[in-house]
Chain A
Amino acid sequence: MDTAALLIIEVLNGIASLALACAGLAIIFGMMRVINFAHGEFMMLGAYTTVVCTKTLGINIWISMLIISPIIVGIIGIIVERTFIRFFYGRMIDTLIATWGLSLLLIGIVTAIFGNIIEGVSAPMGSFEVGVYNVSQYRMVLIGIVILLFIGVFMVLTRTKLGLIARGTMQNPAQASVLGISTQRVYMVTFAVGAALTGLAGGLLAPISQVIPTAGAAYVAQTFITVITGGTGAVTGTLVASGVFGTVRQLLSYEFTPVLGGVGLLIVAVVMLRLLPQGITGKIFRRSL
């Protein structure tokens, strides 16, 4: 019984952290079709921001994670978008190489500042007991935050004028521009929001992962696979794909080894794309977002 409860928490946790890591990418790749190879590095920057704020500046960890990390990485996103990324819109393959260079540069800068050593912050709050097991409260809170985050993103995209403008611009930039919308500004804001979400993810995952300059590499592949398997409906697709992959990964990791969990995730991705060649939202939930 205890084991079952623990397993459910583990699975929910796996889904939540995968969905969280994918959120920013779902915006930047799913909506803007920019292959952001520096996605993992944006997360790494968010994690470093949290570490520096908490340990060096002594700021409350919640403020660091939830407010400062997204703002800092969002600002970095704006700078990068204005000076670099905007020259590559509409050339999806070229964004791959451009952001690859960016990812190496960011790793280089962070290594130059902080050195190639493992940093970290301890998770806030204690733990509670499930039978004989101890479960970290922070992990439970994390699940709640991710749910709120996705509801928030969904609401902004569907219920606000800003979301409407963003979706319209992504669907048909020429038309939006004719209607008097500054598409350049929409792109900039959308990219910044995607970057901020990624920074938030990095910050929130910092207490439960190792923070090193090359930490981003661990996330790039699995987040891309998740978002692309999700299909064209960026938010719903990412959520459903995270649900499936997170479950498979956690169950296999629990039953066998984490390595097999990772392999299982990839195999499921391959099989799913074979069955649904346009991604999950290409076939089911078609009218979703």
Chain B
Amino acid sequence: MTVLGVNLRSWEALGTILVLVVMVVLLFAGPQIFDLFTLFKVTLFVAMAILALSMGFIWGYGGILCFGQSAFYGLGAYTYAIAVGNIGESTGPFFLAIIVPAAFAALLGYFMFYGRLSDVYLAVVTLAVTLILYNFMRSTAGEEYAIGAQRLMGFNGISSIQPINWPGDGNAMLFPDEIFHLSMGCLILCYAGLKLLNRSYFGRVAVAIRENELRAELLGYDVRLHKLQTFTIGGGMAGLAGCLGVNFNSFVNPDVFALNFAAEIIMWTLIGGLGTLVGPVIGCIGLLMLKFEIGQQQITNTYLIFGGIIMVFVLAVPAGLLPTARQLADRFLPGLGLGGAEVESRREAAQ
């Protein structure tokens, strides 16, 4: 049985349905099952999950290894903070936080893709841009660094940022559970949107370029434009994540542009499974929870345990969580007849 050209007896279809069901259940049940503190934490996880999705999309499907996806997250966060500080009403800033990073991604992408940068060179340029933002933002402590009424505040960061409100009424700010609903809703929309996009003509061309750039080009596809579009979508999505992330604790500082955060997003994707959409989200939430848990214990320092766990993990599960789970399911439940082999080739292609 097929719907929209998708065989329902495949991992793809089953997984998508399962993920959507889980997310919708969480959307409605979240505020009931979590206490307030956990709800805050989960809201942050959801924002980060959107960031992970954007990385999973541009790298896993578009074949673009961006080492600075956090730059767009940070830009979204700062754009929201600065705009809402000036306007005092959050509808405009909310959309600006998507548009500004997307425009920045388009500009940077034009520079890179039309310059034919690829592989590690592209990674280095994106990392360098992120670190430029980091250094710049850290040096904006002085009073002269202000956009409109909002000072940038240097390495202290902007605090007590006004949270999102109901559209049109700057005083009707959202409660934590409403912000959770909004974030979760955005995550569902992003996931479903990317799933549809990947099934569309656009998504298929993107995968073709990822698999063999030269061949796609010789077949007449505009590789540069296509990569630029993919990159821009990813940038906008990361900006949205930044906007929601700011609403978690009304605070943003230049650490969002730091090397550690930039690297962490790549780790989420590799741990969860490159070439999937849910994989990076699982990797993201897994690593974040691990960090919270390790941060709470007092026995030894967090670096030691965290580093050790990652080393063991990368030896034991080199293909990432989701692809490995699929392989295991294929081996032990062959009766299901579900295909999982294609994931492996994606990872090979990305190396």
Contacts and interface: CB of A to CB of B under 8 A. Distances in A.
Interface string B121-141: 100110111011001101100
A200 B93 CA distance: 51
Contact of A93 (B270, B301, B303): B270
A229 B303 contact: no
Nearest to B115: A274
A135 to B, nearest CB: 28
B307 A94 contact: no
B301 A270 contact: no
Nearest to B123: A228
Contacts of A26: none
Given A104-B303, A108-B305, A262-B135, A277 B117 contact: yes
B267 interface: yes
A250 B139 CA distance: 18
B9 interface: no
Given A270-B125, A277-B116, A96 B266 contact: yes
Contact of A278 (B121, B259, B305, B306): B121
Interface residues of A, number: 45
Contacts of A88: 314
Main secondary structure of the interface of A (DSSP, over half): helix
Contacts, number: 131
A93 B65 contact: yes
A34 to B, nearest CB: 12
Contact of A100 (B135, B267, B302): B267
Contacts of A104: 303-304, 306-307, 310
Interface in A144-161: none
Contacts of B318: 91, 94
A119 B86 CA distance: 45
Given A97-B271, A101-B314, A277-B116, A263 B303 contact: no
B304 A93 contact: no
B260 interface: yes
Given A97-B266, A277-B121, A270 B303 contact: no
Given A94-B318, A273-B121, A108 B307 contact: yes
Nearest to A226: B124
A37 B274 CA distance: 19
Contacts of B309: 101
A288 to B, nearest CB: 18
Nearest to B267: A97
A192 B266 CA distance: 27
A89 to B, nearest CB: 11
A269 B65 contact: no
Contact of A225 (B124, B135, B314): B124
Interface stretch (A1-9, A63-71, A167-175, A216-224): A216-224
A59 interface: no
Nearest to A224: B124
A106 B310 CA distance: 13
A217 B304 contact: no
A259 B132 CA distance: 10
B125 A37 contact: no
A9 to B, nearest CB: 25
Nearest to A267: B132
B297 interface: no
A134 interface: no
A266 B128 contact: yes
A105 B308 contact: yes
A228 to B, nearest CB: 5
A109 interface: yes
Contacts of B296: none
Given A84-B315, A259-B138, A266-B128, A107 B270 contact: no
Interface string B260-273: 10010011001100
Given A98-B311, A103-B307, A220-B259, A274 B128 contact: no
A273 B125 contact: yes
B34 interface: no
B121 A105 contact: no
A62 interface: no
Contact of B315 (A87, A92, A112, A217): A87
Contacts of A221: 127-128, 131, 259
Contacts of B135: 259, 262-263, 266
B126 to A, nearest CB: 9
B17 interface: no
B298 interface: no
Interface string A5-49: 000000000000000000000000000000001000000000000
A111 B270 contact: no
Contacts of B350: 93
Interface string B101-128: 0000000000110011110110011011
Contacts of A90: 351
29 contacts: A92-B120, A92-B351, A93-B350, A94-B270, A94-B318, A96-B266, A97-B270, A100-B263, A100-B310, A101-B310, A104-B304, A105-B303, A106-B307, A107-B307, A108-B302, A108-B304, A112-B300, A225-B128, A259-B135, A259-B136, A262-B131, A263-B132, A269-B124, A269-B125, A270-B129, A273-B125, A274-B112, A274-B115, A277-B117
Given A37-B263, A101-B307, A228-B124, 17 more contacts: A84-B311, A91-B318, A94-B270, A96-B270, A98-B311, A98-B315, A101-B308, A104-B303, A107-B303, A108-B302, A217-B259, A229-B124, A262-B131, A266-B129, A273-B121, A274-B111, A274-B112
Q: State the 9 A-B residue pairs at the shortest beta-carbon distance, nearest first.
A: A108-B304, A104-B307, A101-B310, A105-B307, A108-B303, A101-B311, A266-B128, A107-B303, A259-B139
